[in-house]
Amino acid sequence: MLKTLYGKLALALAALLAAIGLSYGLISHSLTQRYLQEAQQSFNRDLARNLVVDQGLVTGGQLDLKALKATFMRYMTINPSIEIYLLDAQGTILAYSAEPSVVKRNRVALEPIRAFLAGAALPIFGDDPRSHDARKSFSVTPVPATEGADGYLYVVLRGQMYESFERIYQDSLLLQLSGWVLAGSLLTGLLIGLLLFHVLTRRLRRLAIRVNDFQGSDFTVYTPYQGQGVQGDEIEQLGAYFDRMAQRLRTLIAHLEERDTLRRELVNHVSHDLRTPLAALHGYLETLQLKADRLSPADQVLYLDAALRHSRRLGRLVGDLFELAKLDAHAIQPRRECFPAAELVQDIAQKYQLPAREHRIRFMVRLPAATLFVEADIGLLERVLDNLILNAFYHTPPEGIVALELRSASQTVTFAITDTGQGIAPEDLPRIFDRFYRGSSKAKDDGNHLGLGLAIAKRIVELHGSTLWVASKLHRGTQFGFDLPIRAYSAS
């Protein structure tokens, strides 16, 4: 219990309230005591003077010693709460009404007496002749001496009843009442404080349970705290931050898991896609070796051609994989140079005239009037256009059209490859840039395609700070393209 925040807060509050109660008690005790002493002294202020008058202690300007003795005797028996002392001008005790055995001093200090007679504020404490160091409230009046200088009649107010707190407390209804009120309010304060701490720490406990559950579920299930958000108090902020952190953690974990699945898929794909041409290559070479003497030279050439074809295909697949891996690892940095975009497009157009004819495809090139300079890695850009054009050829039936186009806008130039081919189904569109994705119809698949072309093209375009986009209509045609900023113009 004491280990919890609630326990610690409760203990601190209880200690604080106890300290307040104690100091309040002590202060009120000393104040009350002082007040009672003051009341007692001011009530008895004229006691000494009245004694002198009432008891007729001074007759004819002289102290009547006989009357004094009689008064001493009387007060010793009937009123032991006061003690009367006769002092000379220096404060030396000449006579007194107390038992001789209890009086310990033979003189008392004069300063309090003078202050009293000068009318200083009460209470004033003077020496108590019964003790060496105690001080008591008193009443005093000057009296003429029997001989020499005048002296004082010094009356000590014993007031024993106010010396202990219990006595004061028992006597004062007001003090009792205020004590009860104090105890009551401290207790109420304690209860309210405990309730408040409970409410405050409850939210913390709730948060702790959530975080603990989250961790217990291996960071998969998190019930959001969903408080007032960062606008709330510190606990609410903590809740909001935890919500965010859990959210982020879950996305990260999901991302990692997805990566892991991808990696596994990749290994599967690679081993499968490499095994097929490798097995074919192996088969042809083995046949050549085993049946070399029985095969006609024409057959031997045929077998060798097939083996070569498969080894070339293998080389291309490995090359593509390697290139993608390097692109992923950011190991390829584009070597940018400024060149006229139309030149690159024309070079490529040249390259694909023959293959277009072989595919019986009309290959068209459209260029803008002005010469536009772009800044890019020519080799990489050519790789992108190669991939897009080969895809277009591959998916366009004979007599179709494939167009390679350069379009200029105010700041950018667009490279676009349009075909009138089979198009891409809308449900396939989001996936075509995924590596190893080869479309839903594999009927035409000759085993030559890994599904890496678009993934590579996309990474290269991104490396140039642009995006590869696609628009397609099923059975109508497809257009791929990307934009590059224009670095310079020259009209031609």
The residues of the shown chain that bind ligand ATP, judged by CB under 6 A, are 320, 387, 391-392, 395, 419, 421-422, 424, 432, 437-439, 449-455, 478
Shortest spacing between CB 422 and ligand ATP, in angstroms: 6
Is 453 a binder of Mg ion (CB under 5 A)? yes
Cβ proximity to ligand ATP, 147 vs 446, nearer residue = 446
Secondary element (H or E) of residue 240: helix 234-290
Cβ proximity to ligand ATP, 125 vs 437, nearer residue = 437
Q: Retrieve residue 438's tokens.
A: 């080869």
Shortest spacing between CB 412 and ligand ATP, in angstroms: 23
- Residue 119, SS3 per DSSP: coil
Cβ proximity to Mg ion, 136 vs 449, nearer residue = 449
- 71: exposed, middle or buried (C-beta count within 10 Å: 0-12, 13-18, 19+)? buried
| CA-derived radius of gyration, the chain | 56
Question: CA angle, corner 188, sides to 187 and 194, nearest 5?
Answer: 90
Cβ proximity to Mg ion, 367 vs 450, nearer residue = 450
Select from ligand ATP, Mg ion, none the partner in contact with residue 439, using the beta carbon and a kind-dependent cut-off of 5 to 8 Å: ligand ATP
Question: CA angle, corner 82, sides to 77 and 84, nearest 5?
Answer: 90
Whole-angstrom CA distances from 133 to 92, 128, 129, 231, 456 are 16, 7, 9, 66, 104
Cβ proximity to Mg ion, 283 vs 439, nearer residue = 439
Asked whether the beta carbons of 186 and 17 are under 8 A apart, the reply is yes
Which residue stretch of 70-78, 190-198, 209-217, 388-396 sits at the interface with Mg ion (rule: CB under 5 A)? 388-396
| Of the candidate residues 201, 391, 466, 478, the single one contacting Mg ion (CB under 5 A) | 391
Shortest spacing between CB 349 and ligand ATP, in angstroms: 17
Single-letter amino acid, residue 401: I
Select from Mg ion, ligand ATP, none the partner in contact with residue 210, using the beta carbon and a kind-dependent cut-off of 5 to 8 Å: none
| H helical segments located in 111-233 | 111-117, 165-171, 173-216
Q: CA 291, 296, 299, 301 torsion: positive or negative?
A: positive
Select from ligand ATP, Mg ion, none the partner in contact with residue 420, using the beta carbon and a kind-dependent cut-off of 5 to 8 Å: none
Strands 82-87 and 62-63: unpaired
Shortest spacing between CB 455 and ligand ATP, in angstroms: 6
The DSSP bridge partners found for residue 126 are 136
Cβ proximity to ligand ATP, 165 vs 437, nearer residue = 437
Select from Mg ion, ligand ATP, none the partner in contact with residue 374, using the beta carbon and a kind-dependent cut-off of 5 to 8 Å: none
CA separation for the pair 337, 335 (Å, rounded): 7
- Residue 492, SS3 per DSSP: coil
Shortest spacing between CB 442 and ligand ATP, in angstroms: 8
Shortest spacing between CB 473 and ligand ATP, in angstroms: 11
Cβ proximity to ligand ATP, 216 vs 379, nearer residue = 379
Which residue stretch of 56-64, 310-318, 374-382, 448-456 sits at the interface with Mg ion (rule: CB under 5 A)? 448-456
Is 421 a binder of Mg ion (CB under 5 A)? no
Shortest spacing between CB 486 and Mg ion, in angstroms: 28
Shortest spacing between CB 219 and ligand ATP, in angstroms: 34
Cβ proximity to Mg ion, 183 vs 318, nearer residue = 318
The DSSP bridge partners found for residue 484 are 413
CA separation for the pair 14, 2 (Å, rounded): 13
Half-sphere exposure of 450 (CA within 13 A, CB side): 31
Q: Residues in the site for Mg ion, rule: CB under 5 A?
A: 391, 453
